[in-house]
Structure 1
Amino acid sequence: MRKTNQSGAALITAILITAIATIAAVSMASRQHLDIRRTTNVIESSQAYLFALGAEEWGKQMLVRDRQQNQVDHLAEDWATMLPPIDVEGGRIAGQIKDLQGRFNLNNLVTDLPSNPQGNQPASQQPSQLDVDRFQRLLRHLNLDDELVYAIIDWIDKDENVSIPGGAEDFTYLRFDPPYRTPNAMMASVSELLLINGITRDIYAILEPYVTVLPEYTAINVNTASVEILTALSSDWLAGDVDQLIDQRTPDGFQSVASFLASATATGKISGTEGLSVQTNYFIINAGSEFGRGRTSLYSLVVRDDNGKVEVAMRAQGVY
């Protein structure tokens, strides 16, 4: 009887050891499979990112060549043509260049004032009335409250004085949950609008296609500006004027701001040339790429100087 019990115990022990070994082997195999999959994903994602950098370089070279060919930027140029998806070894890339100076630069709303020669009055800031007027016309054209401009001004300017009407400084934001303060500095991303008092996601969705934030004062390129932006340049447009203006600038755009202002449609309706241009320095290159399971969407803010040199000022993945 004792031998039978011992044999049974040995059998159970053997089965248990076999089960444990099997579980360990399966666990090791599963872990190894996951490690291989994880490594593969990292490699494929890295390769997709490198493909996107290649598309970025394509965009930079397009902009360099464009400046070598002429000094005027318009929508009939090669850079404005989307690079369709192209199959490459193991993946695919696509690219698109957009002129950011065809949009309204929100950082234009506040202008710096230098200190006076006597040195008894420090440098300060004030709203740029020309740009405030243009932005308010854009807001009204989009059926948005034009007093939103003052909340944006207070978000950017360095003081704590609330602009009336519609402004908001720290006192307002510190009552939010969670509380936060105004940066009192130039905006770094258009998405900052979502933090500004009075701007909802619905408002942001309407406004976002027509605005940008750039690190310096920039002129609006009248050759690449949309109907909405051109509408914001004047309060004297008649019905159909802006559509006619769009027709007049094709195919090669206005060759100078003077020719734009002298066009039959714009004559006498836009005062001065301040804040207008037919050239662009700031572009966004949107590069999309795939490699295996890896996918990347890369947004590259590039700046082109007067000599045609193009440099990357900022990169963002997924969202710009």
Structure 2
Amino acid sequence: MERNTIQSKPRNRKGVALLSVLAIVGVTGILAFQLTQTQGITISHVQLTKNDDQLLAYSWSIEELVNFRLYGDWLEGDQRPLDNREEEWASDKVDFEILDSEVHLQVLDQNAYFNVNALAAETVDEALLKGFFELTRFLYLDYDVAPKWKDWVDADISGEINGAEDYVYSTWPTPFRTPNQMAMDISEAQIFNTFDKEQMKKFREKVVVLPVSELKLNINTVDEDVLEMLLLAVDSRFDASYLLDQERNWVDLEELTTRYPDLGLIQPYLSVTSDFFVMKATIIDEDRGRVDLTSSFYRNPQSGEVTVYKRDYGQFHKWWIEDQEELALSR
């Protein structure tokens, strides 16, 4: 018995050694697999980052192109002291090629729409508030949208008729306070209004939020419904479509109001040039992916300096083709 025990010890050692080798091989295999997986993820991450950076660079180049066009348009102001959609800044053409990519571009004049931050001015003309009310009614929105928006942005804490201030919102299940300052984005309307998707779409099509507390409508680009509702607010029945269906290249407001006296009632809100613009650009590359950029521009009317004061990569732009021209589905 003792001899058998002594002879079995080398066999036990061999078994332990074999198990150790197998364990080392197994651990090495697991480590190799993990390293391979980590390396693959790292490579994919680097490739994705590279693609995103490339698309972002493309979008910035388009933004710079629009910036250049807006400044160039200002330089030609002596020869053409107006802004309309026939000028180069409004072109949807890109002057350079982005290889293997589909590019969409649209530039819109923000002074063609109703700036709701005009209701944040120290003194708000009654016609201005009534014009906004008529516009919301035209869009089939709730009757209290206009007074609520004024209470949202004006400095005082006294509520308008059918409006709401802190004393109302503080009783809501999730209470909040009115900022009593200019809004930053049109989406703020959804905080104190129960807009559905279609209502918000209509609201965005006629209303903008600009970083100034004034209403300036470019008669050469103004939206027909916005102009008609403002005229309705001053008890005018002037048919805006008659004016807007003509070629719009007005350079003198005095001449305009002399020919169409009703426009003199809202002349303080009219202009023939624009200061604010928005660019919508989409770049689609089958290999790199897609990027959508919305850039808001301010052009100083005195110096012509163009500033990008807001960028938004969160909006998904929809495009469709009609008569071989690429247009945005919605503003």
- Asked if these proteins are the same fold (TM beyond 0.5), I'd say yes
Which amino acid is 1:67 matched to? W
Give the drift of 1:2. 4.9
Cα distance in 1 between the residues matched to 2:309 and 2:18: 71
Please tell me the residue identity of whatever aligns with 2:91.
T
Task: Tell me how far apart the structure 2 counterparts of residues 172 and 184 of structure 1 sit (CA, whole Å).
Answer: 14
Partner of 1:303: 298
Provide the secondary structure at the position in 2 that maps to 1:274.
helix
Give the Å deviation of 1:269.
6.3
Match of 2:269 in 1: 275
- Do structure 1's residue 111 and structure 2's residue 118 form an aligned pair? no
After superposition, give the CA deviation of every residue in 1:22-72 in whole Å (9 maximum; x if it has no partner): 111111111111112112222221222121111111001111122222221
Gaps of 5+ in 2: 1-7, 317-331
- The residue aligned with 1:226 is 223
Mapped to 1, the partners of 2:69 and 2:19 lie a distance apart of 74
Of the two, which has the highest radius of gyration? 2
Match of 1:246 among 237, 244, 247: 244
Partners of 1:269 and 1:308 in 2: CA distance: 28
State the secondary structure of the residue aligned to 2:61. helix
User: Following TM superposition, by how much is the alpha carbon of 1:294 offset from its aligned partner in structure 2, in angstroms?
Assistant: 4.9
Letter in 2 for 1:39: V
Matches within 5 A, 1:1-320: 2-69=9-76, 70-83=80-93, 87-89=97-99, 91=101, 93-112=103-122, 126-164=123-161, 166-216=162-212, 217-235=214-232, 236-237=236-237, 241-248=239-246, 250=247, 252-263=248-259, 266-268=260-262, 271-290=265-284, 292-306=287-301, 307-319=303-315
1:300 partner amino acid = S
- The alpha-carbon distance between structure 1 residues 108 and 42, as it changes in their structure 2 partners (threshold 3 A), is same
Q: Quick check: 1:86–1:93 contact (8 Å CA) kept in 2? A: no
Amino acid at match of 2:237: W
TM norm structure 1: 0.84
Q: Deviation per CA, 1:95-137, whole angstroms, max 9, x where unpaired?
A: 321100001000112321xxxxxxxxxxxxx433121121112
Corresponding letter in the other structure for 1:208 = R
Give 1 or 2: higher helix fraction: 2
Deviation at 1:92, TM superposition (A): 5.4
Give the C-alpha shift of residue 230 in structure 1. Answer: 2.2
Contact 2:119 2:154 in 1 (8 A): no
Q: Distance in 1 between matches of 2:181 and 2:18?
A: 77
- Please state whether the residue corresponding to 1:273 is helix, strand or coil: helix
Stretches of 4+ aligned residues off by more than 6 angstroms: none
Residues 110, 277 of structure 2: 8 Å contact kept: yes
